[in-house]
Amino acid sequence: MQHPVDPSTYDYSDPFGSMAGRSYAHTGSDYIVAYGEVYSVADAIVYHTGWNDGNGNYICCYLPGHDWDGVEGGAYIAYLHLSSINVNEGDSVKQGQKIGVSGNTGSNSRGPHLHVTLSNSDLAYLGLGAKVDPFAYIQARLGFPVPPKPVEPPKPTPVPPTPAGPPTPVKLTPAQQRQAIAKQRQYLKDARTNLANERRLGSRKDERKMAKYREQIARAQTRIKNIRRNGY
Ligand SMILES: [Zn+2]
């Protein structure tokens, strides 16, 4: 299998299933190629050629041996918007054989390009039947399990907003420092007294209360140390 035109012209911006600018999902793959030779993607039988208002000049080919998982009944490929058709209905064509020239025919075309539809229906040229992504289908058969995507510049890592830290404490005056230290000393004294009283209860002492008093002692000691060192 091969792409019908140079695969580098594939239009990644409007893939199979895309709604871009239309009221229905894109029925196939587009290649942005202006008036370029179109080649049969595989050995095929030209099933139908013709014209309709939306799709312009089209070729619909049957691809023998191209049933695929979940889509039975053979594969049909339609090439739309052609400026010329170089095959006749009933022709057997070889993979890579020129079958037409891309163009801008039909009211669904908004600029020269090649559209291909791959379907299990012989009405593939009308976008009917169970369809698959032609570009991905061909890529898979060329040994690319995932269609290559154009290289995008790496997205910048979003920087989370810095959370507002605690406001910088205002330095206490020496008098306020003495007062604050005195208060912490009182807390310290009370916690130590409570701890000693609890310990005297012997086997009836409450370990949770004792842990709480120890925590109060440690907190008061830290406060006193900080006030002395930092002034707050
Ligand atoms: Zn298209």
Q: Between 81 and 232, where is the model more confident? A: 81
Q: Tell how far the Cα of 184 is from the centroid of ligand 1, in angstroms.
A: 78
Structural element, H or E, at residue 221: helix 207-230
Give the separation between CA 53 and CA 126, rounded to whole angstroms: 11
Q: What percent of the chain has pLDDT over 70?
A: 86
Beta carbons of 72 and 65 less than 8 angstroms apart: no
Q: What angle do CA 150, 151, 152 make, to 5 degrees?
A: 110
Interval 14-30 mean pLDDT: 88
How many helices and strands in the chain, by DSSP H and E?
A: 3, 10
> By three-state DSSP, how is residue 159 classified?
coil
Q: Give the mean model confidence (pLDDT) for residues 172-189.
A: 87
Q: What is the pLDDT of residue 194?
A: 93
- Percent with pLDDT over 90 in the chain: 53
Gap between the Cα atoms of 85 and 166, Å rounded: 75
pLDDT for res 98: 98
Mean of the pLDDT values across residues 19-29?
86
pLDDT digits (tens, 9 = 90+) for 92-109: 999 999 999 999 999 988
The CA 115 to ligand 1 mean position distance, Å, reads 4
Dist. CA 97 → ligand 1 center (Å): 22
Owner of token pair 């003495």: 178
Neighbours of 196 (CB within 10 A): 10
Rounded to 5 degrees, what angle do the CA atoms 68, 72, 76 make?
75
Cα–Cα nearest to 38, from 54, 52, 56, 59: 59
pLDDT value, residue 27: 94
Please, what is the average pLDDT of the chain?
Answer: 87
For residue 151, pLDDT over 60 is answered with no
Q: Max CA-CA distance within the chain?
A: 108
Q: Which residues contact 34 (CB under 8 A, 6 or more apart)?
A: 102, 103, 104, 112, 113
* Closest of 126, 122, 123 to residue 54, by C-alpha: 126
Grouping H, G, I as helix, E, B as strand and the rest as coil, residue 84 is: strand
Q: 29 CA distance to ligand 1 centroid (A)?
A: 5
CB 194 within 8 A of CB 211: no
Question: Quick one: pLDDT band at residue 154, thresholds 50, 70, 90?
Answer: low
Which pLDDT tens digit goes with each residue over 181-225? 888 898 899 999 999 999 999 888 899 999 999 999 998 999 899
Q: Is the pLDDT of residue 113 over 90?
A: yes
What is the 1 CA–ligand 1 centroid distance (Å)? 20
Say what the pLDDT of residue 152 is: 56
Q: Which residues of 88-110 are buried (b: 16+ CB within 10 A; e: fewer)?
A: eeebebeeeeebbbbbebbebbe
Tell me how far the alpha carbon of residue 74 lies from the centroid of ligand 1, in angstroms: 22
